[in-house]
Amino acid sequence: MTRSKYKCIFNCGTCNKQILKNKSQTQKITRGIAFCSLTCLGKYNGKERVNKVKKNCQVCDKVYEVIPARAETSVVCSKSCHDKWQSINLVGEKANRYTGGNRVKLCLYCQQDFRCEKPSTVRTRKFCTKECKNKYWIEHTLHNPEFSKAWFIGNTKSRNRQREGGETLPEKLVRNWLEDRNIEFIQEQGFFQKYFADFFIPTNNIIIEVMGDYWHGNPEIYGDGKKLLNEEQISRIKKDKMKKKDFIKYGYKYYEIWETDIYNDIDSMMNEIFPATTTRKTS
* Model confidence, pTM: 0.43
Can you tell me whether residue 19 is helix, strand or coil?
strand
Is the model's pLDDT at 279 over the cut of 50? no
Pick 138 or 123 by higher pLDDT. Answer: 123
DSSP state of 124: T
Assign 142 a pLDDT band (cuts: 50, 70, 90): low
H-assigned helices in 142-225 = 145-164, 169-180
* 163-273: CATH topology: Endonuclease; Chain A (3.40.960)
| Cβ neighbours for 81, distance < 8 A, ≥ 6 positions apart | 57, 58, 59, 60
pLDDT for the residue numbered 162: 52
- Mean local confidence (pLDDT), 225-243: 89
Is the model's pLDDT at 75 over the cut of 60? yes
Beta bridge partners of 66: 53
